[in-house]
């Protein structure tokens, strides 16, 4: 189903008459990125190789992870994705060269899973 909402065309999935998920129509390609945070309190980054429209981030293991959108920020100007939760950002516009960085204060070997929609 396609609808136009405030000038933005979206695709929607409707189950039993309830809207379940909607993303900008342009965000059609998914890429899965897994990053192993081998050492605690050490920053690991993903550098965008193209436009990113939305993303999902979570820790595979039960660990908190610190996340930032600038190199060096995951230890100073970060936000925490709590164990067992997923960070989701929709309708964003990251371009090639921008970064997403993580570190974990505990739990060496934590894997960060990210789905990038472009």
Order of all β-strands in the sheet with 99-103: 44-47, 99-103, 65-68, 79-81
* Each residue's pLDDT tens digit, 52-89: 999 999 999 889 999 999 999 988 999 999 999 999 99
Q: What domains are there in the chain, each with its CATH number?
A: 26-117 (2.60.120.10)
Q: Which of 32, 33, 81 is nearest to 61 (CA)?
A: 81
Q: Taking the model in full, what pTM does it have?
A: 0.73
Q: Is the pLDDT of residue 33 over 90?
A: yes
CA distance 104 to 41: 6
Average the pLDDT over each of 23-32, 42-51, 93-102 and give the range with the smallest value.
23-32
């Amino acid at each position: 189903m396609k609808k136009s909402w405030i000038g933005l065309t979206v695709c929607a999935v409707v189950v039993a008459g309830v809207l379940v998920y909607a993303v900008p129509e342009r965000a059609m390609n998914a890429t899965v990125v897994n990053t192993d945070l081998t050492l605690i309190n050490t920053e690991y980054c993903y550098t965008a190789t193209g436009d990113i429209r939305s993303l999902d981030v979570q820790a595979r293991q039960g660990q908190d992870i610190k996340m930032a959108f600038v190199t060096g920020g995951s230890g100073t100007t970060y936000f925490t994705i709590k164990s067992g939760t997923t960070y989701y950002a929709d309708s964003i516009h990251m371009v090639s060269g921008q970064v997403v960085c993580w570190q974990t204060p505990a739990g060496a070997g934590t894997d960060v899973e990210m789905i990038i929609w472009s």
